[in-house]
């Protein structure tokens, strides 16, 4: 009975976290669930006390799947237990989705911290007026973050930070070793995604125009941060579109397609591939020359309860928490390995840089990419539909 009641509570909390019901309705349904189950006191008393905790609510939105699971288990639950505050976490399909909602609503109600991807999105949040001003004195664990990660964000907002860098990874190429050899994969590089012999067994991420354009640039022999021929880029994207089984829309779908061998090759997020490898699937992974690297932050939206948000970020950046999350989500933490001792598991993650300098990774130039977004995003939408 206790297990069933706990499951009911977790389901109700997930519904509330997704914004489907408000807190008052949640409490009513929680009570109803207890009555239906014939539960008095015990587990329901505990759950009600948790739900009615006097602390502040922080609304977090992230990428779902193993990433959300790692954050909930290793960061949010311990934080809630320690502080009395609550973290209401929800999954988004992408940051564009959240930005559109905020603009339509005209407020940040129900939105506080975004698991944001990269410098380009950091600048975009700032340019749209959503930048908070973090007091770094309230986040002493920020001192352990790699300077190589902090520097590009400080270049966008020199007087303050609006986010805490948290992890990094790459969008490289995953391939099933039963059907593609390591030698052939690395010899073909980005053009592996254009291998006509694998038609119908190729995938691709359809959720980000810039990701498609980055690979189109590589395949057309251009520096992705200095594209001079956009027509050539989109020609390659069209070529890729004609070969794929489908565009995947989430990390969970990516993993499912690879695990079930519905696709043999695709560009992929390094952490999701590491999770598949840990599960025993025959998936290889490599970063082609000038492959895309990215850094993720915990971006705090302007108007959020800053003291509580800063407390959460400091808790999350504590070495024991950050490393536990890294091991769970399979992405290296933003902590400097010259200052913080990493576990063997973290050291073995794809993209991990033991120097903490990240010199071998190529990141998207936010100025160059953001200034062409309006036009090139329109082109991607046309190509995606078959134009």
Report the number of secondary-structure helices (H) and strands (E) in the chain: 17, 10
The pLDDT score that the predictor gives to residue 9 is 43
The answer to whether the CB of 201 falls within 8 A of the CB of 347 is no
Give the pLDDT score at 44.
41
pLDDT at 212 (0 to 100): 96
CA distance 260 to 273: 14
The residue-averaged pLDDT of 130-142 equals 98
What pLDDT shows up at residue 107?
96
Residues in the chain: 387
Short-list 29, 36, 38, CA closest to 9: 29
What pLDDT score was predicted for residue 134? 98
pLDDT at 223 over 50: yes
Nearest to 202 by CA among 157, 247, 165: 247
Tens digit of each residue's pLDDT (9 = 90 or more) over 274-322: 999 999 999 999 999 999 999 999 999 999 999 999 999 999 999 999 9
Q: pLDDT digits over 303-314, tens only?
A: 999 999 999 999
What average pLDDT does this structure show over 201-226? Answer: 96
88, 60 Cβ separation under 8 angstroms: yes
Mean pLDDT of 145-163: 96
- Confidence (pLDDT) at 25: 42
Are 123 and 366 spatial neighbours (Cβ–Cβ below 8 Å)?
Answer: yes
User: In this model, does residue 45 exceed pLDDT 50?
Assistant: no
**Residue 228: Cβ-neighbour burial (10 angstroms; 0-12, 13-18, 19+):** exposed
What does the pLDDT average to over 40-66? Answer: 66
Query: Highest mean pLDDT: which of 19-33, 44-58, 168-182?
Result: 168-182
pLDDT band at 150 (very low <50, low <70, confident <90, very high): very high
Q: What is the pLDDT of residue 233?
A: 98
Q: What mean pLDDT do residues 44-54 have?
A: 46
Percentage above 90 pLDDT, the chain: 79
Q: State yes or no: pLDDT of 80 exceeds 80.
A: yes
Q: How many CB atoms lie within 10 A of CB 5?
A: 21
> For residue 10, is pLDDT > 70?
no
Domains and CATH numbers, the chain: 1-52 (no CATH), 56-168+294-356 (3.40.190.10), 169-292+363-384 (3.40.190.10)
pLDDT band at residue 250 under the 50/70/90 scheme: confident
Average model confidence (pLDDT) across the chain: 88
pLDDT band of residue 24 (cuts 50, 70, 90) is very low
The whole-number pLDDT of residue 54 equals 56
Is pLDDT larger for residue 280 or for residue 45?
280
Which two structure tokens, joined as six digits, stand for 223? Answer: 């520096």
Q: Is the pLDDT at 23 greater than 50, yes or no?
A: no
pLDDT band at 46 (very low <50, low <70, confident <90, very high): very low
H-run or E-run covering 244: strand 244-248
What confidence tier does 33 reach under pLDDT thresholds 50, 70, 90? very low
Does the pLDDT of residue 271 top 80, yes or no?
Answer: yes
């Amino acid at each position: 009975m206790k297990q069933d009641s706990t499951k009911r509570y977790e389901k109700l909390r997930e519904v509330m976290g997704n914004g489907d019901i408000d807190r008052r309705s949640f409490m009513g349904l929680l009570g109803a669930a207890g009555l239906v189950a014939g539960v008095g006191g015990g587990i329901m008393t505990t759950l009600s006390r948790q739900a009615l905790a006097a602390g502040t609510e922080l609304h977090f939105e992230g990428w779902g799947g193993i990433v959300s699971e790692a954050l909930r288990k290793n960061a949010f639950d311990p934080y809630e237990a320690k502080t009395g505050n609550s973290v209401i976490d929800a999954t988004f399909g992408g940051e564009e989705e959240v930005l559109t909602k905020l603009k339509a609503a005209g407020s940040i109600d129900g939105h506080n911290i975004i698991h944001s991807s990269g410098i380009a999105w950091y600048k975009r949040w700032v340019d749209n007026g959503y930048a908070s001003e973090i007091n770094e004195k309230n986040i002493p664990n920020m001192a352990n973050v790699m300077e190589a990660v902090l520097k590009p964000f400080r270049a966008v907002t020199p007087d303050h930070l609006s986010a805490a860098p948290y992890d990094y990874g790459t969008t490289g190429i995953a391939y099933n070793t039963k059907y593609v050899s390591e030698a052939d994969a690395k010899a073909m590089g980005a053009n592996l995604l254009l291998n006509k012999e694998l038609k119908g067994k190729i995938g691709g991420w359809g959720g980000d125009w810039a990701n498609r354009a980055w690979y189109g640039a590589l395949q057309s022999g251009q520096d992705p941060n200095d594209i001079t021929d956009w027509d050539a880029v989109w020609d390659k994207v069209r070529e890729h579109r004609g070969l794929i089984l489908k565009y995947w829309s989430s990390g969970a779908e990516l993993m499912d397609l690879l695990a079930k061998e519905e696709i043999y090759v695709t560009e992929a997020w390094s952490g999701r591939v590491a999770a598949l490898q840990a599960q025993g699937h025959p998936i290889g992974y490599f970063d082609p020359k000038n492959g895309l690297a990215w850094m993720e932050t915990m971006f705090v939206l302007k108007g959020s309860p800053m003291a509580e948000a800063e407390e959460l970020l400091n808790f999350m950046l504590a070495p024991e928490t950050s490393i536990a999350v890294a091991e769970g989500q399979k992405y290296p933490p933003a902590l400097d390995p010259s200052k913080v001792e990493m576990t063997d598991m973290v050291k073995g993650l794809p993209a991990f840089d033991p120097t903490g300098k990240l010199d071998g990774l190529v990141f998207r130039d936010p100025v160059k990419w953001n200034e062409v977004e309006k036009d090139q995003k329109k082109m991607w939408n046309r190509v995606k539909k078959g134009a």
